[in-house]
Amino acid sequence: MQPARPAALLAAFVIVLASAVSCRAQLANSYYAGKCGNASVETIIHDAVKARLAWDKRMVAGLLHLLFHDCFVAGCDASILLDGPNTEKTALQNNGLFGYDLIDDIKTTLENACPGVVSCADIIVAATRDAVGMCGGPTYQVQLGRRDGMVSQASMASILPGPNVDIPTAIDLFSKKGLNSFDMAILMGAHTVGVTHCSVIHNRLYNFNGTGLPDPAMDPLYVWILSTFACPQGQAFDNIVYLDDPSSILVDKSYYAQIMKRHGVLSVDQALGDHSSTAWMVNFLATTDFFPSMFSYALNKLSALDVLTGNAGEIRRNCRRTGQLMNVVGARPPVPEDAKQRLRNRLFAEKQKKRKDEKEAKKQKRLAKEFQQRQKGPVLSDDDDDDDDDDDDDDDDDEEEEEEDEEEEERVPIP
């Protein structure tokens, strides 16, 4: 490990702060104040997260994961939430994401309080902030005002860094998003509450780079612990492995201390502590108390990436669907109320015309029979009696149709 470099650290921290402020120029603190009637948007989100964490401590990891995978791909626009056969959430890189149901629950509550006001993108950001603070991490303000995106494609997730990415490649991926190497090192601290599966680290434990041996970068005793208790050879189940086992439900600096002990679970975790350009960062974050404040700044910087504001994007009424079908692969948008009413009016008019044509046909038939009757003379036949009955039926039908029309105009089925 290389010693910490305070001057470089200070410069990096200033860049984080300055960048975050400039990127959030179009967002605002207390953005929803007074916009949701008597309800408080942030209180609704806070209470929902608190209730969930009371029985599911994993949710802090789920929300951090959602935030990163949403913001890193195409900006914080909630595109990760959209359903469809080829949307981002279907990408292999996003298979392990969870927490969608919590976002749905929060959105439903907010829609009941103030329809069409709060974006799904803001819900992800605010809910993550609350979960971090409730799980031992920093409490911090977030600026809101994001709008939701209308594009979501699985192929876009290909730029997400994987668990085995090397540090130079990871730095390059982050830099393309306007995030520097120190931002990267701090954001990887989210792994303090993360998990993986034995299948992901199998080669590190048993066949690193085809050698038939464990990864020499991992502490041998830790290899033995994982291979004996968590991931034994030939196990039937793909067990989970905590990325920071001593502190798996707390957002703290323990992740960096584990790396310094060579207990990094993922290849990229240990590489962060071993690479010459980032080793000093791990050492600094593990041995000082700066992680909480720096983590909050890094999360705010991440959550300000390529945000949609003003008239860009939309405010979804359902986080899983967008109003623009053409822009989202596989997503079906809700039908606007004005379009539904136009369709009702058209269907009603068509039904009225059909009834009018049927009545006109009956009238012509009746007139034809009356003409034939006058030609034959005044003697009434059985058929004439039937015609009178038909006239009575027509009158009854007219009365019934008028009653039906009054009801039908209000409710015409929408396909």
267 carries a ligand binding annotation: no
Query: Which among 46, 65, 69, 263 is annotated as catalytic?
Result: 69
Does residue 6 have a known ligand-binding role? no
CA–CA separation, 118 and 124 (whole Å): 11
Is 244 marked as binding a ligand?
A: yes
Distances (CA, A) of 375 to 328, 344, 369, 370, 391: 70, 47, 10, 9, 20
Say if residue 155 carries a ligand binding annotation. no
Q: Is 215 part of any known ligand binding site? A: no
79 annotated binding-site participant: yes
Continuous segment of H or E residues that includes residue 174:
helix 167-175
CA atoms of 153 and 85, how far apart (whole Å)? 9
Nearest to 347 by CA among 335, 357, 355: 355
SS3 of 300, please?
helix
User: Can you say how many angstroms the Cα of residue 347 is from the centroid of all Cα atoms in its chain?
Assistant: 37
Nearest CA among 166, 194, 233, 246 for reference residue 69: 194
- DSSP 3-state assignment of 382? helix
73 is in an annotated binding site: yes
Q: Which helix (H) or strand (E) holds 342?
A: helix 337-376
- Would you call 318 exposed, middle or buried from its count of C-beta atoms within 10 A (0-12, 13-18, 19+)? middle
Q: CA 49, CA 63: separation in Å to the nearest integer?
A: 10
CA-CA distance, 190 to 408, in Å (whole number)?
57
> Active-site residue 263, yes or no?
no
Binding-site residue positions for Ca(2+)? 70, 73, 75, 77, 79, 88, 192, 244, 252
The set of catalytic residues is: 69
Binding-site residue positions? 70, 73, 75, 77, 79, 88, 161, 191-192, 244, 252
Binding-site residue positions for substrate? 161
